[in-house]
């Protein structure tokens, strides 16, 4: 038994829409304000900034080698404690 979808649109129609959307995004990117950007870094982000590059490298190597293990229980407790404090 064969079922034909008569409402099916050709695949090429989708690429035309994608091209139009891409052109629109490109135009939006070219329109800029006064050229100044501002970034505010929260106190939490500043507190999380790494002050020990050696420790960061040690963690990076442990993750890449697959030796870095995190206790799911410890992560869950940390998430809950963070939300309880707020």
pLDDT in tens, 45-81: 777 776 788 888 898 899 999 999 989 999 999 999 9
Number of domains in the chain: 1
Measured CA to CA in angstroms, residue 20 lies from 11, 30, 32 at distances of: 15, 16, 20
Say which residue, 13 or 6, is predicted with more confidence. Answer: 6
| Residues 6+ positions from 56 with CB-CB distance below 8 Å | 50
Share of the chain above pLDDT 90, in %: 23
Q: Rg of the chain over CA atoms, in angstroms? A: 25
Tens-digit pLDDT profile for residues 13-24: 555 566 676 676
The domain in which residue 64 lies consists of 53-86
| Res. 11: pLDDT tops 60 | no
pTM of the model: 0.33
| Structure tokens given for 60 | 């990076």
Q: Is residue 81 part of a domain?
A: yes
């Amino acid at each position: 038994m064969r079922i034909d979808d008569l409402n099916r649109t050709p695949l090429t129609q989708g690429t035309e829409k994608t091209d139009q959307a891409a052109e629109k995004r490109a135009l939006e990117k070219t329109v800029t304000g006064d050229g100044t950007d501002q970034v505010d870094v929260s106190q939490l982000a500043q507190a999380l900034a790494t002050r020990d590059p050696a420790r960061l490298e040690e963690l990076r190597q442990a993750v890449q080698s697959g030796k870095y293990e995190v206790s799911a229980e410890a992560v869950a407790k940390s998430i809950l404690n963070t939300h309880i404090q707020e």
